[in-house]
Structure 1
Amino acid sequence: MPPATDHDRVRRSYDTVADSYRERIGDELDGKPLDRALLAALVELAGADATVADLGCGPGHVAAWLAGQGVRAVGVDLSPGMLDAGRRAYPEVEFREGDLLALPAADGEFAAAVALYSVIHLTPAELPPAFAELRRVLRPGAPLLVAFHVGAEVRHLDDWWGHPVDVDFHFFAVETVVEALRGAGLTVRARLDRAPLPQEAATDRCYLLAHRPA
């Protein structure tokens, strides 16, 4: 486990920007047809009436989109401020406070999970235990969609939309994430790389579709 202060910095930073984040990012899927297509594929793979986890859910907009597709959506986030924003905006979603290294869920509880740009707040050494924990909460055969920024840098912010923060964003080589998934017993099914959209930060992105073997 990393020092608690590392995750505390992330928590405090997202608490600070929670309302601004909801206002600026809450409708982002409207302009991301590829993301919606990948999420729709995940829902189809999960099956009808599935329980799907949105890990690192922020203010819950992705979980709400998933709920709109007919699944039971559970949003998990480290930040109480983000969860409060999500509960106000999306009463149809269940929200839980938790860390990617210690998820608040039972073994095999979820029929699918998404982790869109949430692993970027983990160090490379934290990826294997995080994916092992994720495997624990997935039922056999369940799909997983992971998205992250591609590279080898760590970007630090001390100001975010005019709010004082203290947060690091880790970029990963694709092979690093693939190896961590495989090492945790998850099978990678597909990979998609894309350039940033005009409204996004200028970073290359990767999506990996994996699953827990049956």
Structure 2
Amino acid sequence: MNDIQGSYTIAAADYHAILKDYHRADPFETGALDYFAAVVPEGPVGDLGCGTGRITAYLAGLGLDVFGLDLTPGMIEVARREYPELRFDVGSLFELPLKDGELAGALAWYSLVHTPREELPTAFAELFRVLRPGGVLVHGFKTGEGNRPLTKAYGHDIDLQVYMYSVPDIADLLTTAGFVEVATLTRTPLPAEKDAGQAALIVRKPATP
């Protein structure tokens, strides 16, 4: 089973307390996000699957015109409370409440970590749809093979599956969706990461069809 909304509603407040400053301790995150911020065109940026808004706030601090969207109302409630100066909405990455070509940039920063492979093409097609020509996407995910259950995290009993993918597999899916590669950043697992490495693929929607 994979109860994303229920699990993150239960864990939202503690999730934020534990992870709100995580990027400050992990140069992989700041390296990928800073690179994305440097190459994304001027215009609105969607942090799609924003959780409690920590990455949204970081990018706003870099000067991006960014808003957050997440599937779980409990996560959005925390985000609005913690970062009242920013915009946060409830919505699904699979049916984004955005117009075609509305965004200059988008993040799926571990937003699809609970998504099985057969559903990824739908998500990538939706991300492609909402980006304008020349728009940039950064997709962060765990590297490895298969999936594992996550039944306890952030101090709570939860019901999630965590999916891991190879970089070539995700790159192929993004290419099939229409994107072209800009940059790829990977790192090996830390001791606490249970053999799952990390990857960030930065891709661009072609400027012309």
The correspondence for 1:16, drawn from 10, 13, 36, is: 10
| Matched residue count | 207
Match for residue 36 of structure 2? 42
Q: Mark the CA change 1:13 to 1:155 in structure 2 (over 3 Å): closer, same or farther.
A: same
- Matched with 1:161 is 154
Rounded to whole Å, the distance in 1 between the matches of 2:4 and 2:150 is 11
Q: Hey, what's the Cα distance between the residues in 2 that align with 1:87 and 1:26?
A: 14
Q: Distance in 2 between matches of 1:130 and 1:105?
A: 14
Partner of 2:66: 73
Instruction: State which drifts further: 153-162 or 164-173.
Output: 153-162
Contact kept? 1:67, 1:92, Cα under 8 Å:
no
The more displaced of 38-47 and 135-144 is 38-47
Q: Is the 8 A contact 1:11 1:78 kept in 2?
A: yes
Displaced runs of 4+ in structure 1, greater than 6 A?
A: none
Check whether the contact 2:40–2:105 (CA below 8 A) recurs between aligned residues. yes
Q: Aligned residue for 1:119?
A: 112
Give TM-score, length-normalised by structure 1.
0.90
* 1:101/1:67 CA distance change after superposition, 3 Å: same
Q: CA deviation at 1:67?
A: 0.7
Change (3 A) 1:34 1:166: closer
The answer on 1:87 being equivalent to 2:80 is yes
Distance 1:37 1:63 in 2: 15
Segments of 5+ residues of structure 2 without an aligned counterpart are none
Helix, strand or coil: the match of 1:133?
A: helix
Which residue of structure 2 aligns with residue 26 of structure 1? Answer: 20
**2:107 corresponds to which letter in structure 1?**
V
Asked if structure 2 preserves the Cα contact closer than 8 Å seen for 1:117 and 1:148, the reply is yes
Query: Which structure is richer in relative contact order (CA contacts within 8 A, separation 6 or more)?
Result: 2
What secondary structure sits across from 2:29 in the alignment? Answer: helix
Give the TM-score normalised by the residue count of structure 2. Answer: 0.92
Cα distance in structure 2, aligned partners of 1:123 and 1:132: 15
Q: 1:174 aligns with which of 167, 179, 183?
A: 167
Aligned partner of residue 149 in structure 2, secondary structure: strand
Q: Distance in 2 between matches of 1:70 and 1:133?
A: 25
Question: 1:37-64 CA deviation, whole Å, 9 max, x = no partner?
Answer: 321222222244x211111111000000
| Residues 198/211 of structure 1: CA separation in 2 closer, same or farther (3 Å cut) | same
Normalized per residue, the structure richer in strand is: 2
CA distance in 2, matches of 1:30, 1:18: 20
Structure 2 Cα separation of the partners of residues 92 and 72 of structure 1: 12
Distance apart, 1:196 and its partner CA: 3.3
